Every structure is written in C-alpha cells, then in structure tokens.
Structure 1
C-alpha cells in the first residue's frame, strides 16, 4: 500500500483533498448560512482542488458568533449610554415627525431604533466634502483647533505624504496636551516602524485591529475594520469613503479619485464616539473610562436630523443592509446610488428591481475601470437584468469612483464606508450616516448629476451585444460573488 501511494502520490493527494473537502462541505452546510454563499464555497471546494480549501480556510470560516468577538459584545452591553436611552424617540413622537418631515423614511428610523437602539439625532450641522483635498483641508484645520482629544479609526492608514503630514500634526497636538488615540486595520494599513515610534514617543496610543499572525491567519484575515472615522473633542466627526492615503488626494495622485465624506458637528457625533470607544476597548483589551468630555453637552448646531448605523460580525443582524433595504423598499420617486463595488445580495437585488418596476427612478454609478478585476466583472454581471427592469446604469470614466452614497427621493441621504456588496453587509465592520434633510439631499442630488457628466450611460441594446468573452468572465466571477 505504501509503495502504491509513493508511486501514485498525486492521485493520493487528490483523494486526501476531496476527503477533507467533503468534511468541510458538511460543516459549511451545518452553518445554515446564505444558500448562495454556501454554494459558492462548495463549488470552490469541488472545482478548485487544494485552492478551494485555502480559499475557505482563509476567507470562509464563520466567526460572527465566535469567542473572538464575545469580549466586544460584553463591552457593547456595558457601554450603552444613558444619553442614548434618553434620546430614543417614542413611537408616537415618530408618527408626528413622519407627518412633518420623515415621510416614508420613518420606517428606516424605526428599524435602527428598534434593532440597534440608534436614536435619530437633531441639531446637527453637516457639510459634504468632495474628494481627498477638501476632506483633509477641513480635517487638518479641525485637528489644529482640538482642545481635549482626537480619535481616529481607519481601514487604510499609510505613512505617505498625507499620512506624514497627519502624523506631524497629531504629534504637535499631543505636545499641547491633547489626547490622541488611533485604531488602524492591520491588513489594510501600512505602518512604518519609524512613524509608529514617533507617535508613541509623543504619548499617542495606537492599536491595530486584529493583527494577522500565523497560525491565526485563517481566523482573522476575513473580518476587517473598514470604517473611516474621526472624532474631535466629542463635537466634530468625520465619516465617509476617504482613507489616509495619497491615492485619495488628487493634488498628489496622478489618477483622479472621486470620493465623498461628511463633516458633522452636533449630537450625531455622540454615536460615532460610542462606536469608536467600543472598538478601542476591543483592540486595546482594556475598558476605557467613560468621561464627560467624550460626550459634551452641545447647543443646537444646525437644523439637520441624522442617524448612525453600524454593522460587523459582532452583531447578529446586518443592520446596514436592513436600513438600506428598508430605504429602497419605501422609496416613492427616486433612488440614486454611487458605489465602487456593486455586488448586491438577493435582498438588495430584488428590492431594486421591485422599486424600478413600481415606477421608482433608479440610477446607479459604478467605475468603468475598477481596482479589482474580479469585482469589476462580478458587478457588470448584474447590469443586463437590472437594465431590463428599467434601472439606469452609468460607468464613471474620469477616474476611480470610490464614493459610497445613496439618495432616496428628496429626503434621505446615506454616506459612509459600506459598499453595495456581500463583504460590507456581512463581514466587515462598517458605518454609515443617514441624513434626513431636504437641503442635504438636494446637494447630494446635484453632486450625483455632476458625476453623471463624467459617465457613460449603459445602453441596453449595446450592452446585450457585448462580446461572449466578457459574458463568460462575468458569469465566472458572479459564481464567487459572495467571496469577493
């Protein structure tokens, strides 16, 4: 038998592969996950010997309820703020607001209040920032004026030109006595040893989100902190698609990068602050003392009402996806979506088609050239059926469009870190801000219309005549859509 195995070593390896793959498939089925995701992983096990096993063990294991996140869940329950309970709006009051300004969007407010206890916050001033140059100009000015603390949480933090400028500024503020805390994603970021030492020498605390060390690689590589948050003195917050990287700054980057960020001043910053502190407890393995300066009393900063939604493997429900689904299903006139990665799950896909077929105008902007070959073809695989339903698609041609925005009717705008794909809805830690304000929505609509000027509209008759080679690439990549 031993001699046979030696003589037929490749065949033996294949037999061993499929024995392991069969056992793995049983475990995948027992997890009772989304059928599409389950079939994608089983297909990879069957069609890609050895590689399929690597794909699953690196990216496919489900740790949503694993002990890895139990510590964070404990903190979630311990740090639910009294101010959140006070600000939660009674059902009867929401009915009054519905008649006044929320319209059908009251259902979005309710689902976040009921499921996540995320209150609708009034008294905000919200400024839309286009692209990296605008974002960093405003951010650096606010950091210069910081008095007490600066909290940063980023998926990508690179010590390049813009990163070095940020480091120098943070070190100066630390010298003045401002407390600086930084969270960065270990996989997405590139932290130079020299830069880290400089930060630590100035008393700045910096922690990586889930460092990836072998043999724990398979447990941690899949779940990432995709958020981009800054909180300054508990009064000013930043959130959106722009990371700390030269690629996002058009005055530095040769390739045009189109993105959207929000600057928020007002009560909504309290929600961003609470989620930063929860993540800080998780990455630092300490329970930070909650002090008054984290949640200062603020006067009315503006007329805008807003709400924060977060998702991650530490929660049992995909709250961001549910909020977006509710917004789509309650839309009455129009849905405008800009996203770099359009790989919708069945719920969002069906909701968009249903909205279009009941007469809602649906327009979607995606990049013509994506930074991911697989994501590009997986995205375009959905276009034909959505065009048939009456949805309009546009390819952004000026450069890379990385903005993650939605505008529903003329009332609700959504800006954040979440892409329109499986990974953002189910796997990564994400955050979005839902803005219930007609003036902000008008600005977002104008921005969308301006972006369309830099787009090519996808024409159905021309699209269906695209080469067979492209159709095959699309169909192949769509098979693996839940894995992307």
Structure 2
C-alpha cells in the first residue's frame, strides 16, 4: 500500500516529465524533417498551443519522415525499372520537343522540363476531346468501357456506390467475364463505401486494390491520399480530369435541390496513353496489386511506333510525396514564366505556395492578363476562408478574380496564351503540390485551348468579378476569420 502511495506521489510530482520528453521528441522530429520553414513553424505552434490535441493532430496528419523516405525509395526503384526505355526514347523525345517548339515557342520548355526530370515523355500525334461536366464525360466513358477488348485500368479518388457507380461496376464485371483484364485502384479514404462493398464480395471477378487503406495501426499514413482520376481502356484511350465516379457530377438528375457541379475532363487517344498507362502501373505497384508487365500487351504498341490519332502534343505531370520535387507546381511555374499574353486559371481551392502566388502577381504586374476563377461557396469552411486571405495581394497587382456562383466549380484547369493547357486533378494548394498523389495532362492543341478559353468566358457569365474596392468593404470579422484560417494554410 505504501509502495503504491509512493508511486502515486512520484507521478503526481513528476507527471510533466514524460510529456516534456514527448513534446521535445515530436518537435525535434519536425525539425529533422527539414520541412518548409513556414510549415515547420505552423506545426510547432499547433503542438504548443493545442496541448494533446495538437500531438494527436500531428500523429494523424503531420508525420512524413519515415513514410516519405519509403515512398522515395519506391519511386527510385520504379525509375530504375524504366531506365532502359528512357534511354531508348531519348531521340524520340528530342524530336517531339523540336516539333512542339516550332508551334508554341518557349512554352515548349514545360515539355522539356518534364523530359529532363523523367516525369513523362512528350508525345505528339494525339487526339484530345474536352468533356464538360458529368453529362459529357460519363456517356463517352461508358461507351469506351463497353468497347474494351483487352484491358480496363481505373484509378479514382472517389468511386461511390450510387447509380453511376453501380452501372460502371456492372460493366467492369461483365467485361471481366468476357476475358478483359480489369484492375480497379481506389483511394482508401476517398471511397470507404466501395472498399467495404468490394472487400465483402467473395465472387468478385476483377482485380481491386484500395490505395493506402487506413487501419488503427496505419492511421499515421492517412495524410497521403491518391487524388488522381484516370481511366485507361486497351492502352489506347485515356481519361483524366477532376470528375470522380459519383452522381453528384451529373446535373440532369431531376433533383432541384442538388448543387450544380461544374467540372472538366479530357479524353485522349494516341501515343500519350502509353505514358498514362505507365503511371497507372506505378500506382498499382505501390498499392501492392498483383504484378503485371507492361510488355504483356497492356501498352499494345511501343513508343514511338504508336499510331498517330491527331495533332495534339501531350505529356503528363505526376507528383506524389515521394517525388524528387513538387513537379506539378514546378511545371505550372515553368509555363507561367513563359506566358506572353493571357493566363486563365480555374481551381476549387486556392491555398498557393509562395512561388505560385509570386508568379501570378509578377505576371499581372508585367502586363499579362491574369484571370483566376474560384467557387463563391466551397465545400470546405476552413479552406474557403484560407483561400480568401490570399485574394487581396492578387487584386492589388491587377489579377482579375472571379467567384463562380452558379454552383460549385470543381474544375482544375490552366490555359496559357491559347497555346498550352493543364487539365487534371491538381488544385492550386499545398496539399496537391506536396502531399497528394496528383496528375495533370499538359496539352498543346489550338482547338482544345480555344475550347477552354470559350468555356472560361461561358463560366464568367455565372461569376461575380471581385474588385479591390469591393474587397475592402468586406466585414472586418470575415477578414479576421480569413486570417485565422490562413494560419492553417501550410497544413491544409
């Protein structure tokens, strides 16, 4: 009894010591990781000023050192497996860059950047088709799925078990019964209902893998998500963009209460699909899916002998937490730096890096027409107000900021000089640049860029143009809330 009392007395007097060691250990780990100084300071402040809660928040969403090191090693191994192909394609890639440069001048440096960083090979001779909203994407996508002869590879952040989701699942099962190789890769957090649904299926006849599923022992990994939305049919047809598999993206459901969902997707046919297929192969291997070899018919053609389908130049920017650099952000910066007349950006979330914010302000101040379109109402309270805190400096430099009010604009597109466009899954925020698995198509095609510019003008009719004078009239409490939410911006 006396021993127990002594223990209790000791703990009562010295309880703070293990807590101090825990704090010192956590903060030391953050410092050792060599994060961006702003992000480092933000995490330290969260841990200090939110006792216990801050530590839990960091455990679930902030850890990165060990996981990122493992992801870097995986990326290095994947690159080594592709080394011979890169070497073989060196001349092919250089010839394509010369062709692209003759059409769009120095904007072709984006393709050179991706080639030199070995992110993706520049390809020419592609056919591209712009698909606006789910009403255009899903009928085209479903038609391609029905026509599959060899393989279907899908990689989606959100795949819901609703009307459109069930229809697509039915097609996958039917095609698998026909002998088509079907592989479905979905994010463990983005699609929890489908993960549970397919995990219970004992008669599933196609391959399915959840990407980084979260369990009690792996909660620290929950911060790294696969935000990509791509589909590849027979290694010849590819889809990429912001549209997930969900009824919410279809605006003709007869539900008057539904929010109008404005999004953009891209269909690609031609040599570029080979690079998209390689991207899926990388993701499938990371998720530890049943191995398959790229030379077993999944590419069907080997570059550069792929049949040309059109005149578009296409490459892809893939980035993830294990990348050597934030390639999606860097590819955007290269393009912005070569812009000559006009830059149009559409994003649902604007929590920019310092580099992106500076590039946009410099472009506007240097006389370029810079237009940024954001949703008037976001689906995230904190992100919305954090985004708003970045608007005033843009307005002061001459950037035109439009707030889309018809519904929720979820598209992620950039159009530069009507010559170069980016369409994909990348939001203009810290999470997309540094934390998530993301992908964007970089496209040089006059028709596509013209369609994007035309769609931007159509969407502007459903927007409010914000002026600096109007911005300064905003309620002081709202501006204060923006500033508070901005403190969390490096962590979002």
Q: TM-score range by the shorter chain?
A: over 0.9
Task: Choose from 68, 73, 92 the match for 1:70.
Answer: 73
- Alignment partners' CA distance in 1, 2:30 and 2:199: 43
Task: Choose from 345, 364, 372 the match for 1:337.
Answer: 345
Give the alignment of 1:277-356 within 5 angstroms. Answer: 277-284=281-288, 286-297=290-301, 298-356=306-364
Residue 231 (1) aligns with residue 239 (2):
no
Residue 440 (1) aligns with residue 458 (2):
no
- Alignment partners' CA distance in 2, 1:102 and 1:81: 30
- Alignment partners' CA distance in 1, 2:201 and 2:130: 30
Task: Choose from 106, 115, 126 the match for 2:108.
Answer: 106
- Alignment partners' CA distance in 1, 2:82 and 2:159: 27
Give the alignment of 1:81-160 within 5 angstroms. Answer: 82=85, 85-86=88-89, 89=92, 94-95=97-98, 97-98=100-101, 100-160=102-162
Give the alignment of 1:207-246 within 5 angstroms. Answer: 207-218=209-220, 220-246=221-247
- Alignment partners' CA distance in 1, 2:329 and 2:343: 15
Deviation at 1:464, TM superposition (A): 1.0
- Alignment partners' CA distance in 1, 2:13 and 2:132: 61
SS in 1 for 2:359: helix
Deviates more, 1:240-249 or 1:86-95: 86-95
SS in 1 for 2:117: helix
Deviation at 1:194, TM superposition (A): 7.8
The answer to whether the 8 Å contact 1:309/1:432 transfers is yes
- Alignment partners' CA distance in 1, 2:289 and 2:349: 33
The answer to whether the 8 Å contact 1:116/1:319 transfers is no
- The root-mean-square deviation of aligned C-alpha atoms, in Å, is 2.2
SS in 2 for 1:387: helix
SS in 1 for 2:230: strand
The answer to whether the 8 Å contact 1:84/1:118 transfers is no
Deviation at 1:89, TM superposition (A): 4.7
The answer to whether the 8 Å contact 2:235/2:298 transfers is yes
Deviation at 1:287, TM superposition (A): 3.3
Deviation per CA, 1:24-67, whole angstroms, max 9, x where unpaired?
22221222211111111111112211121112111111246422
Distance 1:145 1:478, change over 3 A: same
For normalisation by structure 2, the TM-score amounts to 0.92
The answer to whether the 8 Å contact 1:88/1:120 transfers is no
Gaps of 5+ in 2: 1-5
The answer to whether the 8 Å contact 1:336/1:363 transfers is yes
Give the alignment of 1:362-373 within 5 angstroms. Answer: 362-373=370-381
Give the alignment of 1:165-244 within 5 angstroms. Answer: 165-192=167-194, 195-196=197-198, 201-218=203-220, 220-244=221-245
Deviation at 1:322, TM superposition (A): 0.6
Deviation at 1:95, TM superposition (A): 4.9
Distance 1:96 1:236, change over 3 A: closer
The answer to whether the 8 Å contact 1:73/1:314 transfers is no
Gaps of 5+ in 1: none
- Alignment partners' CA distance in 2, 1:147 and 1:406: 34
- Alignment partners' CA distance in 2, 1:198 and 1:62: 31
SS in 1 for 2:325: coil
The number of equivalent residue pairs is 479
Distance 1:384 1:294, change over 3 A: same
- Alignment partners' CA distance in 2, 1:351 and 1:57: 34
- Alignment partners' CA distance in 1, 2:212 and 2:125: 36
The answer to whether the 8 Å contact 2:377/2:405 transfers is yes
Deviation per CA, 1:136-155, whole angstroms, max 9, x where unpaired?
11000001111011000001
Deviation per CA, 1:195-224, whole angstroms, max 9, x where unpaired?
426976252000010111112211x10111
Distance 1:413 1:427, change over 3 A: same
- Alignment partners' CA distance in 1, 2:194 and 2:229: 20
SS in 2 for 1:191: helix
- Alignment partners' CA distance in 2, 1:213 and 1:289: 30
Deviation at 1:71, TM superposition (A): 3.8
Distance 1:83 1:172, change over 3 A: farther
For normalisation by structure 1, the TM-score amounts to 0.93
